Amino acid sequence: MPHARTVRIRVRGKRQITLPRDLGVREGDELEARIYRDRVELVPVVTIPREQAWFWTKEWQAKEREADEARAAGDYTEYGDVESLIAALKK
C-alpha cells in the first residue's frame, strides 16, 4: 500500500473546502465521504446512470473482453453495408 500524502485544508464559509489542484479532482467530480470516528476520507466515485448499469455487470464485461480478444486476434468479419450483414445473418 502506498504511503499516504498529507495536505492541510481549511474549511471556509458554508463548510466549503478547496482541494489541491494536483490531486486530479476537477469541478463536477463526485467524491464519497467516508466518515470514521477520528477522520474523514474523500474517495472519488463514478456514478453510472441506472439505464446503463447492465453494461457494467460481470457477465456483460466478460462478453466485452471476449469481443476485444476476438477483434485483436482478427476473428471477425467486416461488411460494407447493412444489406450484406443481414444476408450473412440469415445464412
Report pLDDT digits (tens) over 43-62: 999 999 999 999 999 999 99
8 A C-beta contact, residue 45 and residue 34: no
Over residues 5-30, mean pLDDT: 90
Q: Residue 24 and residue 7: Cα distance in Å, rounded?
A: 14
Q: Evaluate if pTM is beyond 0.75.
A: no
**Cβ neighbour number for residue 23 with a 10 Å cutoff:** 12
Residue 21, pLDDT above cutoff 90? no
* pLDDT score at 5: 82
Widest pairwise Cα distance in the chain: 69
